[in-house]
Structure 1
Amino acid sequence: MIVIVAAMAAGAISGMWIMATASKGPLSPVLPEDGRGATVVGGLAAGGLAGILVPVILLSVVKPDSRGDRATPSQAAWRLIGVGMITAYLAVISLIVAQLGWILPMTATIAIAIPLIGLSWIPAGILTTSDRFQDSRLGRLLPKSRQ
């Protein structure tokens, strides 16, 4: 458990650093000065989410769950691709929210970015992991995968 929390913290910090340096370097013509805080919030969300999910996915290959099942390497690879897609999605959302910096001050942009970015990944996360919800009430609402 400590390894997973440490990986989440390291992912969040590295995601913030990557987005903060990218907003000053190659993305500087695209981003307004007051929108850079939204990119840092997006980096925090993307890095933290990847930091907590990647160790859990890799541990699912090695350690069986409560039913005694382990994930195959191909299942883990597909889940890691899904995590990468959600991370890229969060980066794009943070760049879109950062455009509010053209009309709003930085504090207002950050205040808007936190709930928008923080809650925007939930539909994508549910759709990419819908196989876990097939037996729940929520799973009955989602389309079944054809196999």
Structure 2
Amino acid sequence: MSAGSGPGAARVQSPGRSLAGNVAFGAGLLLVLATMTLGAYAGVALALGLAGDSFLSSAVPGDGRNAVVVGGIGAGGLTGLLLPLTLFAAVRGTEARPRLGPGEALLKMLGVLVLAVYLLIVSLLAAQLGWILPIGLVTLLSVFLVGFSWVPLALIPWERFGLGGIGGLLGTSRGPGGSGKSD
């Protein structure tokens, strides 16, 4: 039996972790979850306002309002998730992943807002099913339509358009000679 491998062995903290680092990570995680949740609520309020009190109110049937809510959750939650991550990437960097410059951070946030508007448009299209289908089926279909509508956008080779760093926030961008895997 080797020393230090049994149940009574002392646990040694790895040299890369500290209590302050763990607390900072926990605080950052809580901040991201809070902004994502608040963004989803704000997206629902915006989407319901679009469906109820605006020029789009006649275009959204009563059985399609839940589809608009699903789009609001997606758009607001995505924006609330990626806003603090972009801000963190703009102020903190490493040698492997340098800080974002103001222009690149702005480009990423504009991309997130375009994607949020895209999700709202998809939800408005899914709401049109409310003219012919019952509310429960429209809600179910809208979750799949809004939830998977971004997949074709993920398959576009953004590097050919000069937008190769779009996946950098989530660790999926490929640098020169990179494999796309995060360390």
Report the CA distance between 1:122 and its aligned residue: 3.1
How far apart, CA to CA, are the structure 2 residues paired with 1:110 and 1:65? Answer: 43
Q: Percent identity?
A: 35
Q: Which has the higher contact order (CA 8 A, sep 6+)?
A: 1
- Is 1:9 the counterpart of 2:37? The answer is yes
Over residues 25-61 of structure 1, what are the superposed CA-to-partner deviations in whole Å (9 max), with x where a residue is unaligned? Answer: 1121111110010000000000000100011011111
How far apart, CA to CA, are the structure 1 residues paired with 2:174 and 2:132? Answer: 41
Change (3 A) 1:71 1:137: closer
How far apart, CA to CA, are the structure 1 residues paired with 2:36 and 2:72? Answer: 12
Name the counterpart of 2:85: 56
Correspondence list, 1:100-119, <5 A: 100-119=129-148
Selected match of 1:71 from 100, 109, 114: 100
Instruction: Give the RMSD, CA atoms, in angstroms.
Output: 2.0
TM-score (norm 2): 0.69
Unaligned runs of 5+ in 2: 1-28, 159-165
Partner AA of 2:82 in structure 1: L
**Residue pair 1:34, 1:102 contacting (<8 A) in 2 also:** yes
**Residue pair 1:57, 1:76 contacting (<8 A) in 2 also:** yes
Name the counterpart of 2:17: none
Change (3 A) 1:64 1:126: farther
How far apart, CA to CA, are the structure 1 residues paired with 2:40 and 2:180? Answer: 32
Greater share of helix: 1
Name the counterpart of 1:29: 58
**Length, aligned pairs only:** 138
Change (3 A) 1:74 1:28: same
